Amino acid sequence: MSRVLLVDPDRAGLAALEAALNAAGFRDVSTATSASFALTMLERNRPDLMVSRVGVPDIDGYELCSIVRKDPSMTGVLFLLLASPGDEAPEAMLEEKPDQTLAGDLPLSAIVAEVRGLLGARRRIAPEPPAAPVEVTPGLNGSLGVMDLPEIAKAVALGGKTGELLVTLPSGRGVIVFDHGRLVHAEFFGLIGETAFAALMVAAHGAALGEAHGNFVFHQLENGAANGTKTIHCDLKQLLLSAAAEIDEGRPGAATAPLS
pLDDT tens figures, 122-149:
665 444 444 344 444 444 677 887 778 8
In this prediction, residue 15 carries a pLDDT of: 93
Please tell me the distance from the alpha carbon of residue 108 to that of residue 46, in angstroms, as a whole number. 24
Q: How far is residue 96's CA from residue 78's CA, in Å, rounded to a whole number?
A: 12
Instruction: Report the pLDDT averaged over residues 177-200.
Output: 90
Share of the chain above pLDDT 70, in %: 82
**What is the Cα–Cα distance from 35 to 105, expressed in whole angstroms?**
21
- Check residues 224 and 38 and name the one with the higher pLDDT: 38
Least Cα distance to 246 among 83, 106, 82 occurs for 106
Confidence at 82, pLDDT banded by 50, 70, 90: very high
pLDDT in the model for residue 208: 78
Rounded Cα gap, residues 63 and 133, in angstroms: 31
**Lowest-confidence segment of 2-6, 55-59, 220-224 by average pLDDT:** 220-224
pLDDT at 94: 54
Sorted by sequence, the CB contacts under 8 Å of residue 104 that are 6+ apart come out as: 83, 84, 85
Give the Cα separation of 85 and 248 in Å (integer).
Answer: 20
* Helices vs strands, H then E, count in the chain: 7, 11
pLDDT of residue 126: 46
Q: What is the pLDDT of residue 144?
A: 81
Q: What's the whole-number mean pLDDT along residues 49-56?
A: 94
Nearest of 207, 177, 196, 211 to residue 243 by alpha carbon: 196
Domain boundaries of the chain, sorted by first residue: 3-125, 141-255
Rounded to whole angstroms, the Cα distance separating 245 from 87 reads 21
CA angle 158, 162, 167 (to 5 degrees): 85
As assigned by CATH, the class of the 3-125 domain is: alpha beta
Model's pTM, two decimal places? Answer: 0.49
Amino acid symbol at 211 = E
| Helix spans in the chain (H) | 11-23, 35-44, 61-70, 108-125, 149-158, 193-209, 236-248
Q: Which of 206, 196, 199 lies closest to 229 in space, CA to CA?
A: 196
What pLDDT sits at residue 242?
86
Quote the CA–CA distance of 51 and 3 in Å, as a whole number.
11
Contacts of 228 (CB under 8 A, 6+ apart): none
Does 76 have pLDDT greater than 50? Answer: yes
pLDDT band for position 16 (50/70/90)?
Answer: very high
